[in-house]
Amino acid sequence: MKPAVEMRNIVKQFPGVLANDHISLTVEKGEIHGLLGENGAGKTTLMSILSGMSVPDEGEILLNGTPIQFGNCEDAIKQGIGMVHQHFMLVPVFTVAENIVLGNEPHKGLQLDIDQARTMVNRLSSHYGLKVDPDSVIRDISVGSQQRVEILKVLSRDAKIIILDEPTAVLTPQEVEEFYIVMRALREAGNTIIFITHKLQEIQEITDRTTVLRDGKVVGTVNTKDADNERLARMMVGRDVVLHVKKEEHQAGKVELRVENLFAKDARGLPAVKDISFEVRAGEVVGIAGVAGNGQNELVEVITGLRKQESGKIYLGDRDISKMTTRERIYAGLAHVPQDRQRRGLVMDFTLVDNFLLGYEDSPPFIEGPMINYREAERFSERSIEMFDVRTPGAHVTARTLSGGNQQKMIVAREFQRNPTVLIAAQPTRGLDIAATEFVHEELIELRAQDKAVLLISMELTEILDLSDRILVIYEGEIVGSMKANEATPEKLGLLMAGG
Amino acid sequence: MADKKEAAGKKGFSLLGLVGPIQFVMGILLAFIGGALFLWIFRENVAEAYGALFKGAFGSKRYIGEALLSTTPLIFSGLAVALGFRSGLFNMGVEGQLVFGGMVAAYIGYAWDLPRVIHLPLALLGGAVVAGLWGSISGYLKAYHNIHEVITTLLMNYIAFAIADYMIAVGGPMKADNELPVSPDVLESARLVRLWEGTRVSSGILIAIFFAIVVWFFIYKTRIGYKMRAVGFNAAAAEYAGINPKTMTVLAMALSGALGGLAGAVEVLGVHYKFYAAFSPGYGWDGIAVALLGLLNPFGVIAAAFLFGVLRSGSITMQAIAGISKNVVSILIALVIFFSATNKTLEPILKRLLGGIGSGKELELNTEQEGDR
């Protein structure tokens, strides 16, 4: 049988980067084929070539043994190739059915035939087991449902080859489980799936075969069941990777952060943090596990002074900081790696120098009277770039031009050098690839070794289990469980996280 | 990727600083080509029209003087808008702030009798401070009540105009002792000196250029300027770093308003020597276009203000000599703005070309030019 997709010697050059360097990829009919690689390895570029969005400089593409040439997405869709993007392309105020037929609307005269659209959606939905309500409005449904809509949209165009670009990045753990079921159903129905990811766990869970890319080249294609995580990670990064950071035994010291009976409301004015109390000691990592949206955000914002508490106290060492401004808390020794690095952590249109300066702009040695000492700021930037291995063409480009991993390294570099007594790290590795994750984890453990108190908030159980000395579980704004890390298991935590 | 790392330390010479000027000049060229098309459609003689325009701006000392005369307040109003934009605020109220600035400067100028070294600076300062306070009202409403500054600044113009009208209307507190709706003449000690024999150009132009440098320095080199830019680009990140976005918003509107006030003050103290309702032919409104054309850079604002001054002054002669309506210049100005806005799309290409020439290697594209340090 001819392979469903064969890409031969694909070359794609972007200014300054050879994104695809003679890549060859063969995907068999009816398989789930993983495309694994670090950020910037060329996965998305390769798939946008396959889906007709960009034209390769060299190389050829064969579908079922027949050479094809795409000028645009329409051609690719006609050949049965559909791509679901990482960021959904749905109209938020339209219904599910309207979104699915958009661009391909059944009509009665000039009017949209919504009944026919609904029927089609229901038929597809039950055929593939993708549960959606055709009449729900997109903005009202969960991210997981929105993704199902995207997939149905692709299926409605008779796609036989479905490309999924990091589909799990936006999903909660429960939604990921459902998503696996959908992928298997699609495979049962005879579709070919190409699954882009940089998460090893997902590769193991769902793919039949996996092609690993690194720096625009193919490292190899393996049968997934023959490859373990360590081997895949090595192929991906090009060296041995510490998947689970090793931490030395370390004696916790005095209490550095103490939160007492904290209450806070969310943006809609509903209670989000309900009577939370805990402490973090010097040289200790305390992890807060929980499903996203259970009050973690509000908790971090209250501690850092970005949100007002309703009641309760926060102590940094012996000092009551609950009435202090954000700036005063920073000066008192609190540092914060925010969950949303692009919205909170960086000014994307600032240069790296200006970004490294954030929060230091009123402190020596960066000031000269009312002015900023840019020579000192530049020196600090160069040093941070060097020390934390931020990959950038220079300190004077904007933060926007860096990859997510390098942006995070900038934030980590800036916050760690405040020499805080307490560091709050909120989802510090979200969206980062393996090498960057390893880096952040090692840095956090290094802080612990320096007798800093670290509060880690994460949705990733493995991260919580690997790094923490003690684990708290948050559910609907309350701490529902507290245990030593060596007593915790994923099952135990999972149950608590679900409110059990 | 390792080579990127090495590049981090090196600083090749860069032509990226030319991106702005090239965009600027291209915008003007395209506008003149577009303007020629309009003239051709209206069956006017293009060469004659542009010839007259050019002559009207540069043909004699007096004409050049008139161009520089309009340039002066335009620099201030352009700076006012640019400073606002840099802080994430769209100050639509420069015209009103300008009227306030002129009014207060005139009052101090005629009502107080002081030695020159105090009188003139005080009149300028008074105009700036009152206009700044006026502007800060919008900043306060934005920061603490979340009312959009475009609405408040725009509407407050009309309040400012009404107050100004009242001041010099019959029975008004600033009305001069004659039949005209004007204020008394500003005393000699509060007038800006004539700079250039045979023209009306005053030392205001030097003050304007000085302020452009000050504003540039303020935005890019000072701690407060840094904080304002941080708030302007990303208030959430600024807040995270402990900068109070509310304070910065009020302060930015106050400073923007003060610059608008200076536009009015130099106009009154340098040209008219008295206050009357229509002393500004829309310099405040033009400030928006000047700031955008100048790419929000204070030095760009000087160049853009000069261009507007030239067009304004040339248009009068063009109408007189060639009999072509000076509205053509309005079309030209609109086209200049249009093309400088659309030129933004060329920015990545220009940066790639110039970046490639300068450093011998590709620089990654960045969307914002951060100062020219």
- The mean pLDDT of B185-199, rounded to a whole number, is 87
Q: What's the gap in Å between the CA of B30 and the closest CA on chain A?
A: 29
Contact with chain B for residue A368, Cβ under 8 A: no
Interface test with A, best of B3, B6, B223, B296 (most A CBs within 10 A): B223
Band (B344; pLDDT cuts 50, 70, 90): low
Is the confidence at residue B44, as pLDDT, over 60?
Answer: yes
Residues of A in contact with B364 (CB under 8 A): 16, 393, 397, 401
Vertex B341 angle, CA B136 and B290, to 5°? 45
pLDDT digits (tens, 9 = 90+) for A194-219: 999 888 888 888 999 999 998 889 99
- Domain spanning A242-333+420-500 has what CATH number? 3.40.50.300
Measured CA to CA, the distance from residue A263 to residue A80 in angstroms comes to 53
Q: Which residue of A has its CA nearest to B364?
A: A401
Of B230, B361, B362, the CB nearest to A347: B230
Task: Give the rounded distance of the alpha carbon of A476 from its chain centre.
Answer: 22
Identify whether A67 is preceded by a cis peptide bond (ω within 30 of 0).
no
Is the confidence at residue B7, as pLDDT, over 90?
Answer: no
- The mean pLDDT of A428-455, rounded to a whole number, is 88
Contact A392 B234 (CB under 8 A): no
Contact with chain A for residue B146, Cβ under 8 A: no
- Name the least confident of A68-72, B119-123, B193-197, B340-344: B340-344
- The mean pLDDT of A73-91, rounded to a whole number, is 84
Q: Which residue of B has its CA nearest to A390?
A: B5
Is the confidence at residue A94, as pLDDT, over 80?
Answer: yes
- The mean pLDDT of A71-91, rounded to a whole number, is 83
- Name the least confident of A229-233, B130-134, B326-330: B326-330
Q: Is the separation of the CB atoms in A106 and A117 below 8 Å?
A: yes
Contact B230 A350 (CB under 8 A): yes
Is the confidence at residue B341, as pLDDT, over 90?
Answer: no
pLDDT digits (tens, 9 = 90+) for A244-299: 777 777 788 899 999 999 999 988 888 999 999 999 999 999 999 988 788 898 99
Of B222, B237, B373, the CB nearest to A347: B237
DSSP-derived secondary structure for A172-215: -HHHHHHHHHHHHHHHHTT-EEEEEES-HHHHHHH-SEEEEEET
Measured CA to CA, the distance from residue A206 to residue A224 in angstroms comes to 9
Contact A358 B241 (CB under 8 A): yes
Q: What's the gap in Å between the CA of B17 and the closest CA on chain A?
A: 13
Report helix angle B116-145 to B94-111, nearest 10. 150
**Total number of residues shown for chain A:** 500
Q: What's the gap in Å between the CA of A378 and the closest CA on chain B?
A: 11
Q: Is the separation of the CB atoms in B38 and B330 below 8 Å?
A: no
Band (B362; pLDDT cuts 50, 70, 90): very low
Band (B144; pLDDT cuts 50, 70, 90): very high
pLDDT digits (tens, 9 = 90+) for A10-65: 998 877 678 888 999 999 999 999 999 887 788 888 998 898 888 888 898 988 88
Q: Is the separation of the CB atoms in B66 and B253 below 8 Å?
A: no
Residue B98 burial by CB count (10 A; 0-12/13-18/19+): exposed, middle or buried?
buried
Is the confidence at residue A481, as pLDDT, over 80?
Answer: yes
The DSSP H or E segment spanning B35 is helix B19-41
Band (B5; pLDDT cuts 50, 70, 90): very low
Measured CA to CA, the distance from residue B53 to residue B321 in angstroms comes to 9
Measured CA to CA, the distance from residue B77 to residue B79 in angstroms comes to 5
Task: Give the rounded distance of the alpha carbon of B1 from its chain centre.
Answer: 44
CATH class of A5-237: alpha beta
- The mean pLDDT of B122-143, rounded to a whole number, is 96
Q: Which residue of B has its CA nearest to A371?
A: B222
Is the confidence at residue B1, as pLDDT, over 60?
Answer: no
Residue A208: count of CB within 10 angstroms of its CB: 17
Q: What are phi and psi of A164, to 5 degrees?
A: -115, 115
Residues of A in contact with B9 (CB under 8 A): 382
Residue A122 CA: distances (Å) to CA of A95, A126, A140, A188: 13, 6, 19, 19
The percentage of chain A sitting over the pLDDT mark of 70, rounded to a whole number, equals 99
The pLDDT value given to residue B71? 94
Band (A177; pLDDT cuts 50, 70, 90): confident
Is the confidence at residue B252, as pLDDT, over 50?
Answer: yes
Is the confidence at residue B366, as pLDDT, over 80?
Answer: no
The pLDDT value given to residue B15? 66
Closest by CA position to B254, among listed B120, B123, B128: B128
Q: Which residue of B has its CA nearest to A337?
A: B240
Measured CA to CA, the distance from residue A1 to residue A85 in angstroms comes to 29
3-state secondary structure (DSSP) of residue B167: helix
- The mean pLDDT of A311-315, rounded to a whole number, is 93
The pLDDT value given to residue A353? 94
Band (A242; pLDDT cuts 50, 70, 90): confident
Interface test with A, best of B10, B226, B233 (most A CBs within 10 A): B226
Contact B242 A15 (CB under 8 A): no
Q: Residues 31..90 of A with a Cβ closer than 8 Å to B: which?
A: 40
The DSSP H or E segment spanning B223 is helix B223-233
pLDDT digits (tens, 9 = 90+) for B299-331: 999 999 999 999 888 888 888 877 877 788 888
Is the confidence at residue A400, as pLDDT, over 50?
Answer: yes
The pLDDT value given to residue B110? 92
Q: Residues 191..250 of B with a Cβ closer than 8 Å to A: which?
A: 221-224, 226-227, 229-230, 233-234, 236-244
Contact A215 B370 (CB under 8 A): no
The pLDDT value given to residue A200? 85
- The mean pLDDT of A450-479, rounded to a whole number, is 91
Tell me the average pLDDT of chain A.
Answer: 88
The pLDDT value given to residue B14? 58
ipTM over 0.85: no
The pLDDT value given to residue B8? 37
Measured CA to CA, the distance from residue A207 to residue A130 in angstroms comes to 19
Q: Which residue of B has its CA nearest to A389?
A: B5
Measured CA to CA, the distance from residue A351 to residue A355 in angstroms comes to 6
Vertex B332 angle, CA B330 and B337, to 5°? 95
Q: Residues 319..338 of B with a Cβ closer than 8 Å to A: which?
A: none
- The HSE-up count of residue A75 (CA atoms within 13 Å, CB side) is 14
The pLDDT value given to residue A18? 83
Q: A5-237 and A242-333+420-500 share one CATH topology? A: yes
Sequence-ordered list of residues with C-beta below 8 angstroms from that of A108, at least 6 positions apart, any chain: none
Q: At A490, which amino acid appears?
A: P
pLDDT: is A5 or A249 the higher one? A5
Domain locations in chain A as residue ranges = 5-237, 242-333+420-500, 344-418
The pLDDT value given to residue B360? 37
